[in-house]
Structure 1
Amino acid sequence: MESFRKLIRGWLGKVLLVLFLIPLALVGIEGYFGGSNKGDVAKQVNGQPISNKELDELIKAYQQQYLQFVQGDESLLNTNAIRESALNTLIARTLLLQQADQLGVKMSDSQFVQMLSQLPDFQVDGKFSNEVFGNYLRSRGITKEMLTANLQQDHALKMLSGTVSNYALVSPTAIERFADLQTEQRELYLSSIKLDEYKKGITISNQEAATYYEQHKNDFRRNASVDVDYVVVKPDMVTAKTPFTVTDAELQQAYTQYVEKQKNSVPKIVKHILITQDTRSDAEALKLANEIEAKIKAGLSFDAAAKQYSEDPSSKDKGGLIAGYQAATLGSAEFDNAVNALQNQAVSQPVKTSFGYHIIQMHTEPVKIESFDAMKAALTTQLEKSKAANLYTDTVNNLNDTVVSNNALDPITEQVKAAMVQTANNVTLWTKDPYLSNAAVKAKLFNDSVKGGDRNISTSVQLPDGSNIWVRIRNYHAEGLQTAEQAQADVKVKLLNKKAAELAKAKIATTLAAFNTQPAAEVMAKGNIKFEKAGLYTRQNLKQDIAKVAFTLPAPKAGMWSVGAADLADELVIVAVAQVKADGFKSFSPEQKQQVTQAYQQSRAEQELADYVDYLKSTAKIK
């Protein structure tokens, strides 16, 4: 059922990870090695230091993880919150490790050896390889003892956390109630009452606004925002009415470039015969390579010679073929130069590289080159587009010079008549706008220079669609609590809406009260409120303001409605609940019941673990 699928997606998607175990997975084992001096301490937990290096590594890992959720837009990351989260993670991890040590929770040597031998990274053909293990340690500059200590710590954390979380008590009744609440469906009828008429004649005094502000200060905290003027110039604004002439000479040059590109784009099929110096001297290797070359020129096929003589095990059985050859495939400029110098089907003399001596054969498939007449129309279009792009680029560069020298946006609209100066107020990092929400534009709006008072016009920013934008900051509003004066306009709007909603409620109060004692059909027959059937809804697929009312109303008796009101900015929405369907868990399949049970158990287990960490923090010395 769809409601269950939404439940699982939402609930499992929100279940928290065991944060103190994340660092090892995100940063990598080697991220925990390397000493730190006493001055490089972010926090001390019961006298044990957490280094700034550890903290910085985890912050970077978190940032990379969170960037996936904001489509790579770094401006949307709350760096302070990420730092606090990373620090709390490391504190929790340290406390749990200390507790595991006190309780003697650790992995035995035999358990460690068994676990290490089963790690795929250290295996060759399914068996533990001392050579691979040694290479791993050397490549990361760590010792076996350092790796052992950290893996044992990780195992101790898992054992301790598992012990704590496994004590979480989960009753069948709690699971069923949780599932029913999440999948509960309510049949709703809605009525909208516009507030514009009720607002007429209402006035809000400055004193009322001031009193409301003092009682609701926390409602007037704001993110940093800017008031901005900007101009967007699109390529067609510059090039739409400009005719572009393409000369015969330009067409001939473009055709020549096309021919060269076609020739160069044909993949080269490269074969080689490698003679190494592993068991012979340089002179002996060269002598053997010369003899093989002579045999090929005398009639021995290259493929047969490769199979018989080549000492490259990856290609000799394929006639010497280097699969997918491209320049630098072998990391040798000498080899690539020899390939480029060869004619089609030709065989080279022995070529010396760090691997030994190579005899090379190069072959290309016939290249298809269209005639000049066949390509003329396409080349003409290509040249026209190129000239339009060049004109647009030159125009943008000239506009940049003019804008910077005049520190004004007007010169743009004077030169590009189709462009106009636009204005936007209270733009934040989260504002959705086709231009101002671009990450590069936000970097111009919210940088340290702007915060420090810089109000100069920016140079242009190229947008993904090829357009360019210039921005000028008029005002910068710092993050924090608005003053009563700054918030006054918003306060008056809130109070006006509130008073209008109260008048609307008073007018229909008798009808709303009747729903408590009379069947809905009777109230509807003589009432003055018209409802429309909205349908069946769960909490997840309703607007928050409506859901808050709809799912706090009591379940109605047969034929009755439970009714409430949601105050929106410009309307009062009357919400009527006609029936409640709350037997979701009973209708689940065995597999669905198992999934929701696991989700709830995981949540409870993590809560137990979080409570345990909080207890450890309450008795620890953290500074």
Structure 2
Amino acid sequence: MLQDIRDNAQGTIAKIIIGLLIVSLSIWGMDAIIGGFSGEPEVATVNGEDITEREFLRVVQLERQRQLAQMEQQDAGLLNDDQIRQEVLEALIQEQTLIQDASEQGLELSDAEIDALITQIPQFQVNGAFNRDQFVAYVRNLGMGVGEFREVMRKQYVVNQIRTGILQSGLATAAGAERLLALQNQTRSFRTLTVAADTVADEVEVTAEEVASYYQENPELFALPDRVDAEYLVLSLAALADPEAISDQDLEAYYRSRAADLAAEERHSAHILIADGKDAARRLQEVQDKLAAGESFEALAAEYSDDKVSGRQGGDLGFAGRNVFDAPYEDALFALQVGEISEPVTTAFGTHLIKLLEVRESPVPPLADLEEQLRTELAQQRASEAYAQARTRLADLAYAAADLQEPAEALQLEIREQANVTREAVRKPFDHPGLVRQLFSDDVLNGGYNTELVDVGNNVSVVARVVKHHPATTQALEEVADDIRHALTQSRVRERLQARADSLLAALENGDTVAAEEADWQRYEEQSRMASGVDGRVLQTAFSLPRPPAGEASYGTAHTDDAVVLVALEAVTDGKVDENSGELKQLQRFIASLQGQREYAAYQQALREQATIKRP
């Protein structure tokens, strides 16, 4: 086992272990894996092993921090603490069942094996050799001690052995993949007959009594939530920046300072993509061996790459500058010399081997072409300090003022208005939950105070106040009568349309002709599932109908916005499948991967159901 670890530490296993460690620690924390100390209050017991309150609260805090970090504007008030606590507890219980299962199966690593794994992991190396200072610094950055880290690796490694084994056990037969691909590539020929709403609209009438009855029977449809009319001030960096105030001399100096950045370098690359799957490591090794033996990169891309579009072009992806590819791909590409091939690079799409074909640098565009952009950039840079000062002043003035008039005059801001702001507002700036929550707080809603300063966007701040509060109420009948009449009319038109379509459909199924409307049928030949030019609802009906007998048709209906469409399916053509195509092999691998994921999910669920779980 020790030799296996050494052989694989540089490859997929090491990456998975480190990745899982980082995810587990950043989301659930150290205690989610190691467990607590005996004698402490527990929040749950799994098969006799406690999950302590201390570890639970620590992980809850870590999860709160993680969710806050994902917010564009961090606001702890938006967190659902009850949901966080519940999700953390369930995750801790599931993690404990997996650790216990691995232990019961006798999967473990010795101290020597842990040491071998740690010393071979690239993140802990300097110039290809294990560096203890690098290792200790890395572990401390995770908020752990060395002993804790070793224990985490021991348990996570064996848990991952089970996970990997189950995920890779998923099977998909070639025949099943062929049938699915044939269905995916299937085409259908059909006719459609549109029965438009205006053909039955004259048959529909809605009386005032019916409108009133509907109003009385559905009062909840006409309830208005409480809402406010608000005034607000907006302070933004963009408004403070004045491009026109930038002198030509300053602009030219800024242009010269940016010259190196403006001369964009583009790199022409080709790649071989190996998608994730149970045979990915073998296929990748085959490609690397053949490259080492001198075989053509272009030929291998055509044979092996799961990016079939570029593969047909020898893996060619053309020229690209920065911020085009995923960060790992871009970092590797811009570190290569022309003609050099990278080591395996992992992205969300799979594993890449990258070849740099050529490099070109575009000249710096003339100042005239960039003048507007650079003036704006420089103006915003200079306005940033003024914005910070104005933001502080606005916060202080709004806190002390009885209304928004004084802050508006002091900072030369316009008082803006927005009526009927609800707690679920969607119009800017009241689409920001923090601002709305303050607007409906007791001090602002009933006390007449201004809100605090709220950052609603990137360098955009808002202060607001309530001008008028409209309590929840029900709209009067006269206010909604036209809407009710329109809704009832539309409903009855749809009913008449369906009745008309059903009548025509019955006639067609009985073999009768629809002579009067025969000229209105529209024919579609050999349409695919993703065909353009056909309403998606019609296409969905056409592909849901049973295969018709030879010389006959299958019939159905599809509702569009203002019509019912009869669909007569006349022919089904199965898609052609090349048994040796990369598309088929990729689909088979994808199905196998999904099956493995389902099996692992079922395995986790089985462990959970078999476990004895006690909660105080």
TM-score, length basis structure 1: 0.52
Distance 1:436 1:611, change over 3 A: same
CA deviation map 1:152-175 (0-9, x unaligned): 111111112234444545333433
Q: What is the deviation of 1:129? A: 2.9
CA deviation map 1:471-518 (0-9, x unaligned): 7585688xxxx9xx9xx9999987765443122211333222344355
From 42, 54, 58, the equivalent of 1:53 is 58
- Distance in 2 (CA, whole Å) between partners of 1:139 and 1:154 is 19
Distance 1:523 1:43, change over 3 A: farther
- Distance in 1 (CA, whole Å) between partners of 2:94 and 2:463 is 47
From 531, 546, 554, the equivalent of 1:554 is 546
Q: What is the deviation of 1:97? A: 0.9
Number of aligned pairs?
439
Please say if residues 555 and 577 of structure 1, whose CA atoms lie closer than 8 Å, have aligned partners that are also in contact.
Answer: no
RMSD: 6.1
- Distance in 2 (CA, whole Å) between partners of 1:190 and 1:75 is 55
Please say if residues 190 and 531 of structure 1, whose CA atoms lie closer than 8 Å, have aligned partners that are also in contact.
Answer: yes
Residue of structure 1 equivalent to 2:135: 133
Residues 347-362 of structure 1: pairs in structure 2 closer than 5 A: none
CA deviation map 1:438-492 (0-9, x unaligned): xxx3322245954999366757877779797857585688xxxx9xx9xx99999
- Distance in 1 (CA, whole Å) between partners of 2:146 and 2:29 is 15
Please say if residues 226 and 445 of structure 1, whose CA atoms lie closer than 8 Å, have aligned partners that are also in contact.
Answer: no
- Distance in 2 (CA, whole Å) between partners of 1:206 and 1:401 is 48
| 1:161 counterpart = 2:157 | no
| 1:510 counterpart = 2:508 | no
Please say if residues 439 and 451 of structure 2, whose CA atoms lie closer than 8 Å, have aligned partners that are also in contact.
Answer: no
Please say if residues 541 and 567 of structure 2, whose CA atoms lie closer than 8 Å, have aligned partners that are also in contact.
Answer: no
- Distance in 2 (CA, whole Å) between partners of 1:469 and 1:552 is 54
- AA aligned opposite 1:620: A
Residue of structure 1 equivalent to 2:556: 564
From 87, 97, 100, the equivalent of 1:98 is 100
Residue of structure 1 equivalent to 2:121: 119
Please say if residues 26 and 61 of structure 1, whose CA atoms lie closer than 8 Å, have aligned partners that are also in contact.
Answer: no
- Distance in 1 (CA, whole Å) between partners of 2:511 and 2:100 is 65
- Distance in 1 (CA, whole Å) between partners of 2:497 and 2:555 is 15
Q: What is the deviation of 1:106? A: 2.2
Residues 181-580 of structure 1: pairs in structure 2 closer than 5 A: 181=183, 184=186, 189=192, 191=194, 193-194=196-197, 200-201=205-206, 227=227, 229=229, 405=402, 422-423=418-419, 428=424, 431=426, 433=427, 435-437=429-431, 441-446=432-437, 449-450=440-441, 454=445, 458=451, 470=464, 472=466, 474=469, 497-516=490-509, 518=511, 523=514, 526=517, 536=527, 538=529, 549-556=541-548, 562-567=554-559, 571-574=562-565, 576=567, 578=569
Please say if residues 230 and 421 of structure 2, whose CA atoms lie closer than 8 Å, have aligned partners that are also in contact.
Answer: no
Q: What is the deviation of 1:606? A: 1.3
- Distance in 1 (CA, whole Å) between partners of 2:217 and 2:394 is 54
Please say if residues 27 and 58 of structure 1, whose CA atoms lie closer than 8 Å, have aligned partners that are also in contact.
Answer: no
- AA aligned opposite 2:30: Y
Residue of structure 2 equivalent to 1:25: 23
- AA aligned opposite 2:58: K
Please say if residues 42 and 52 of structure 1, whose CA atoms lie closer than 8 Å, have aligned partners that are also in contact.
Answer: no
- AA aligned opposite 1:145: G
- Distance in 2 (CA, whole Å) between partners of 1:435 and 1:187 is 50
From 593, 598, 617, the equivalent of 2:589 is 598
- AA aligned opposite 2:152: N
- AA aligned opposite 2:173: S
- Distance in 1 (CA, whole Å) between partners of 2:413 and 2:130 is 70
Distance 1:397 1:96, change over 3 A: closer
- Structure with max Cα Rg: 1
Q: What is the deviation of 1:549? A: 4.0
Residues 54-73 of structure 1: pairs in structure 2 closer than 5 A: 54-58=59-63, 60-61=65-66
Please say if residues 40 and 52 of structure 1, whose CA atoms lie closer than 8 Å, have aligned partners that are also in contact.
Answer: no
Unaligned runs of 5+ in 1: 1-17, 268-377
- Distance in 1 (CA, whole Å) between partners of 2:509 and 2:164 is 51
| 1:89 counterpart = 2:91 | yes
- Distance in 2 (CA, whole Å) between partners of 1:572 and 1:448 is 45
Please say if residues 227 and 427 of structure 1, whose CA atoms lie closer than 8 Å, have aligned partners that are also in contact.
Answer: yes
Q: What is the deviation of 1:32? A: 0.8
Please say if residues 554 and 569 of structure 2, whose CA atoms lie closer than 8 Å, have aligned partners that are also in contact.
Answer: yes
Q: What is the deviation of 1:600? A: 1.5
- AA aligned opposite 2:498: K
Distance 1:112 1:601, change over 3 A: same
Q: What is the deviation of 1:199? A: 5.2
Residue of structure 1 equivalent to 2:6: none
Please say if residues 59 and 83 of structure 1, whose CA atoms lie closer than 8 Å, have aligned partners that are also in contact.
Answer: no
Query: SS at 1:596's partner residue?
Result: helix
- Distance in 2 (CA, whole Å) between partners of 1:578 and 1:158 is 50
Residue of structure 2 equivalent to 1:621: 612
- Distance in 2 (CA, whole Å) between partners of 1:137 and 1:463 is 35
CA deviation map 1:375-407 (0-9, x unaligned): xxx9xxx9xx99xx99xx89x979x96997469
- Distance in 2 (CA, whole Å) between partners of 1:146 and 1:549 is 59
